[in-house]
Amino acid sequence: DAGITQSPRHKVTETGTPVTLRCHQTENHRYMYWYRQDPGHGLRLIHYSYGVKDTDKGEVSDGYSVSRSKTEDFLLTLESATSSQTSVYFCAGGGWGTDTQYFGPGTRLTVL
Partner 1 sequence: EDKVVQSPLSLVVHEGDTVTLNCSYEVTNFRSLLWYKQEKKAPTFLFMLTSSGIEKKSGRLSSILDKKELFSILNITATQTGDSAIYLCAVSGTYKYIFGTGTRLKVLA
- Chain contacts with partner 1 (rule: CB under 8 A): 1, 31, 33, 35, 40-45, 48, 50, 56, 58, 90, 96-98, 100-106
Residue 85 phi, psi dihedral angles, 5° rounding = -95, 5
In the complex with partner 1, which residue's Cβ is closer, 16 or 105?
105
- Least separation in angstroms between CB 25 and partner 1: 13
In the complex with partner 1, which residue's Cβ is closer, 53 or 80?
53
- Least separation in angstroms between CB 17 and partner 1: 26
Which whole-number Å values give the CA distances from 89 to 17, 58, 97, 98, 108, in the listed order?
A: 17, 14, 23, 24, 6
